[in-house]
Chain A
Amino acid sequence: MLKQCEGSHAVASAVAMCRPEVICAYPISPQTHIVEGLGEMVKSGKLAPCEFINVESEFAAMSVAIGASAAGARSYTATASQGLLFMVEAVYNASGLGLPIVMTVANRAIGAPINIWNDHSDSMSQRDCGWIQLFAENNQEALDLHIQAFRLGEELSLPVMVCMDGFILTHAYERVDMPTQEQVDAYLPPFVPRQILDPAEPVSIGAMVGPEAFTEVRYLAHAKQMQALELIPQHAAEFQKIFGRDSGGLVRPYRCEDAETIVVALGSVLGTLKDTIDEMRDAGHKIGVLGIVSFRPFPLQAIREVLKDAKRVVVLEKSLAVGIGGIVSTDVRMALSGLHLHGYTVIAGLGGRAITKASLHKMLQQAMRDELEHVTFLDLDHNLVKRHLEREKQKRRSGPMAENILRDVGVVAARIA
Chain B
Amino acid sequence: MPFQPVKFYQTGTFTVGNRLLAPEERTVQANMQRTNGLNSGHRACQGCGEALGARYAIDAAMRACNNQLVAANATGCLEVFSTPYPETSWQIPWIHSLFGNTAAVATGIAAALKVKGRREVRVVAQGGDGGTTDIGFGCLSGMFERNDDVLYICYDNEAYMNTGVQRSSATPPAARTATTMPVGVEPGNVFGQGKNVPQIAMAHNIPYVATATVADLHDLEYKVTKAMGMHGARYIHIFVPCPLGWGAASNDTIKLARLARETGLFAVYEAEHGEVTSVSKIRKRVPVEEYLKLQKRFVHLFGKTPATETIARIQAMADRNIRKFGLLEEEGV
Contact = CB atoms under 8 A, between A and B. Distances in A.
Contacts of B73: 206
B95 A73 contact: no
Interface in B71-100: 72-73, 79-80, 83-85, 88, 90-98, 100
Contact of A206 (B70, B95, B113, B141): B95
A199 to B, nearest CB: 5
Contact of A66 (B67, B83, B105, B138): B105
B185 interface: no
Highest count of chain B CB atoms <10 Å: which of A50, A54, A67, A198? A67
Highest count of chain A CB atoms <10 Å: which of B67, B79, B96, B111? B111
Contact of A56 (B72, B95, B109, B138): B138
Interface in A36-88: 49-51, 53-57, 59-60, 62-73, 75
A24 to B, nearest CB: 8
Interface stretch (B114-122, B267-275, B280-288, B303-311): B114-122
A57 B274 CA distance: 25
Contact of A55 (B83, B94, B142): B142
Nearest to A204: B88
B108 A67 contact: yes
Contacts of A69: 108, 112
Pick the 5 closest A-B CB pairs, nearest first: A67-B108, A56-B142, A63-B104, A63-B101, A71-B112
Interface string A195-215: 001110111111111100000
A22 B116 CA distance: 10
A64 B103 CA distance: 8
Given A71-B108, A71-B113, A97 B1 contact: no
Given A70-B95, A208-B80, A208-B85, A60 B139 contact: yes
Nearest to B145: A56
Contacts of A67: 72, 95, 97, 104-112
For the residues of B in contact with A, the DSSP-based class is mixed
Contact of A202 (B72, B91, B100, B145): B91
Interface in B17-48: none
B97 A75 contact: no
30 contacts: A49-B116, A49-B117, A53-B146, A55-B107, A56-B145, A57-B139, A59-B100, A59-B138, A59-B139, A60-B139, A63-B108, A64-B104, A67-B97, A70-B112, A71-B112, A89-B100, A90-B101, A93-B97, A93-B98, A198-B93, A199-B67, A201-B1, A202-B90, A204-B95, A207-B83, A207-B96, A208-B80, A208-B83, A208-B85, A210-B84
A51 B83 contact: no
A24 B114 CA distance: 15
A60 B72 contact: no
Given A56-B142, A89-B98, 20 more contacts: A51-B115, A55-B104, A59-B104, A59-B139, A60-B107, A60-B139, A60-B142, A63-B98, A66-B97, A67-B105, A67-B109, A72-B116, A75-B112, A199-B69, A199-B93, A201-B1, A202-B1, A204-B88, A205-B95, A210-B84
A21 interface: yes
B68 interface: yes
Interface of B: 1, 67-70, 72-73, 79-80, 83-85, 88, 90-98, 100-101, 104-117, 121, 138-139, 141-142, 145-146
B116 A64 contact: no
Given A22-B112, A56-B138, A63 B105 contact: yes
B36 to A, nearest CB: 12
Interface of A: 21-22, 24, 49-51, 53-57, 59-60, 62-73, 75, 89-90, 93, 97, 197-199, 201-210
Contacts of A60: 101, 104, 107, 138-139, 142
A66 B108 contact: yes
Nearest to A22: B111
Contacts of A57: 138-139, 142
B97 A63 contact: yes
Nearest to B67: A199
Contacts of B113: 71
Nearest to A101: B108
Nearest to A97: B97
Contact of B108 (A75, A89, A198, A205): A75
A57 B103 CA distance: 13
A22 B109 CA distance: 10
Contact of B111 (A51, A199, A202, A207): A51
A23 to B, nearest CB: 9
B110 to A, nearest CB: 8
B72 to A, nearest CB: 6
B141 A59 contact: no
Given A56-B145, A199-B69, A205-B95, A65 B108 contact: yes
A90 B1 contact: no
Contacts of B138: 56-57, 59-60
Contacts of B88: 204, 207
A199 B67 CA distance: 7
A68 B108 contact: yes
A208 B100 CA distance: 16
A93 B72 CA distance: 14
Highest count of chain B CB atoms <10 Å: which of A53, A198, A202? A202
Contact of B109 (A54, A62, A70, A97): A70
Given A21-B116, A63-B104, A70-B109, A197 B93 contact: yes
A128 to B, nearest CB: 18
B85 A204 contact: yes
Contacts of B94: 197, 202-205
A64 B105 contact: yes
Contacts of B93: 197-199, 201-204
B84 A208 contact: yes
B101 A66 contact: yes
Contacts of A49: 115-117
A53 B114 CA distance: 12
Highest count of chain A CB atoms <10 Å: which of B96, B115, B116? B115
A22 B141 CA distance: 20
A93 B108 CA distance: 15
B139 to A, nearest CB: 5
B317 to A, nearest CB: 31
